[in-house]
Amino acid sequence: MHWSARRGAEVAAQADFADAIILSVQGLGHSFTVNGKAVPVFQGVSLDIARGEFLGLLGPSGCGKSTLLQIIAGLLPAASGRVVFEGRPVVAPPPDMVYLFQQYSKSLLPWRSVCANVGFAISTRGLSRREKRERCLEYLRIVGLDGFADHYPWQLSGGMQQRVAIARALAAEPKILLMDEPFSAVDALTRLELQALVLDVWTQSKLTIIMVTHDVDEAVFMSDRIAMLGPRPSSVTTVVETSLPRPRDAISTRELPRFLKLRHMLLGTLLTRPGEAGSSIASRDSDHA
């Protein structure tokens, strides 16, 4: 509690120290080619992510936030700008960084047992088969899947499959975890459970997390800081500190005045069409929340 509550202030105070910045996004731009013409998706995106921070990357569908995350992960090349992770420019997936896919069912290996899927993240060097299995079981315990080690992914529910994917990401022991709409494919209750699980894991480790989401509620609930991308061609339009106390509670945190105020402000910004003044929540059917 003490350690978590200090986070926000600490982040701001140490922003000058290079060591406090684990990852730096510098003037990133990307465009798709449509009929031979380059259509910009986002441009001039700059962000510094502090060590140990939980950053929410919020934006409407099609603003390129998943693409941005894939560039950060080194899975896609940047058209312009660069990403610096621990002092080194990212040109390929770097060590100590793991990308958690939205489509857990496509990201797990169906021919491997749950345990062996987690083992996919662990380098085989210097570990006996038994040691490796024990480490896999340990990570499965963390995500609450003890007893499912020898099941196959396709025998599990969607929420459990995403837990396997989370256990596998943790097993790689990254310093930074990139999550691409990690809970968007599971039902509402499972989503709340998984949010709590990820927050627990993050609190107990020294992990830095960047989470892409289009769910304002989720972004406010989980993040230290939220960077918001505007409509295409997008750039970071707003960065807000959530300044909500930790540990966060699925029910009471969402009832705090500060939570409601942030939610109101961010949703208002998201639902405002470009060039339109003020909030127009009533005029849009809201499939984002």
Residues at the contact surface with another protein, assessed by CB under 8 A: 70, 73, 75, 92-93, 95, 97-99, 101, 103, 106-107, 109-111, 120-121, 152-154, 172
- Pick the closer one to another protein by CB: 156 or 216: 156
- Starting at the edge strand that comes first in sequence, how are the strands of the sheet with 236-241 ordered? 97-100, 176-180, 208-213, 54-58, 225-229, 236-241
Of 64 and 153, CB closest to another protein: 153
How many other CB atoms are found less than 10 A from the CB of residue 117?
A: 25
> What are the tokens at 263?
């939610």
In the complex, the smallest distance separating the C-beta of residue 111 from another protein, rounded to whole angstroms, is 5
Which H helix or E strand runs over 28? Answer: strand 21-34
Query: How far is residue 179's CA from residue 197's CA, in Å, rounded to a whole number?
Result: 14
Query: Please, what is the minimum distance in Å from the beta carbon of residue 174 to another protein?
Result: 9
Least CB distance to another protein at residue 36 (A): 21
| Smallest distance, another protein to C-beta of residue 179, A | 12
Q: What's the min distance (Å) between Cβ of 121 and another protein?
A: 5
Nearer residue to another protein within complex by CB, 9 or 109:
109
How big, in percent rounded to 5, are the helix, strand and coil portions of the chain?
Answer: 40, 25, 40
Specify the residue, 172 or 281, whose C-beta has the smaller distance to another protein.
172
The smaller minimum CB distance to another protein, of residues 121 and 219, is found at 121
What's the CA gap between 248 and 36, in Å, rounded?
48
Element (H, E) at 82: strand 80-85
CB of 97 to another protein, least distance (A): 8
Q: How many angstroms separate the CA atoms of 56 and 262, rounded?
A: 13
Instruction: Output 87 or 110, the one with its CB closest to another protein.
Output: 110
